[in-house]
Amino acid sequence: MSDIVAQWEVSLSDGIHRIEFEHGTTSGKRVVRVDDRDVVRKEWMFKLVGREHFTIGKAKCCILIQAVSGFAYEYSMEINGKSLQKFTENQTKIMKTWTLEVGGIPTRVVLEKDTLDVWVNGQRMPTTGEFTDEGTETHFVLSETVLAHITAVSSGRRKDGIIHKLYVNDVEIPEAKE
């Protein structure tokens, strides 16, 4: 019988990760699984509340286990010292994500706006930058026959800032809603 008590999805530059937490309240067992792989496994823990720390790539994660009443527990997650909700809100500000199919393969392209790194299906891509009359273009290769670039142009409004668009073989790809 499984003791999975919480599940979360976390969107990072290298992909969307699924986290599962098992908490055996009679055995004290704690298991943290990231993308179906055990990253923490502890048996016979006598303290049923506390924290479990682990990492996903560069992200420092922590699951908080709190007693709410009797033998009922509440589970929450922090990433890089922020609640999952705050972290997710911040990620939407610093990342742009597009999803498309390239040669029949689902492909996820992510631009980290703070570092200008481009990730394709979890792999950081080599890029070349170019200044244009409108702004900049960041070029990279999706496959042998598929070229892509991300444009960055000013919106003309301070509140909106810079607008990023992905073009694959000169066709604009709509931004993904993650």
57-105 residue pLDDT tens: 889 999 999 988 877 889 999 999 999 999 998 888 889 999 999 988 9
Query: Residue 127: pLDDT above 80?
Result: yes
The answer to whether residues 95 and 174 touch, using CB atoms and an 8 Å cutoff, is: no
- The Cβ of residue 133 has, within 10 Å, a number of other Cβ atoms equal to 5
Does this chain's domain 4-80 share its CATH topology with 90-173? yes
Q: How far apart are the first and last CA of the chain?
A: 32
Topology of domain 90-173, CATH: Lipocalin (2.40.128)
What pLDDT, on a 0 to 100 scale, did the predictor assign at position 178?
Answer: 63
Query: How many helices (H) and strands (E) in the chain?
Result: 1, 17
What pLDDT, on a 0 to 100 scale, did the predictor assign at position 1?
Answer: 52
**Is the CATH number of domain 4-80 3.30.365.10?**
no
Element (H, E) at 88: helix 84-94
Domain map of the chain by residue range? 4-80, 90-173
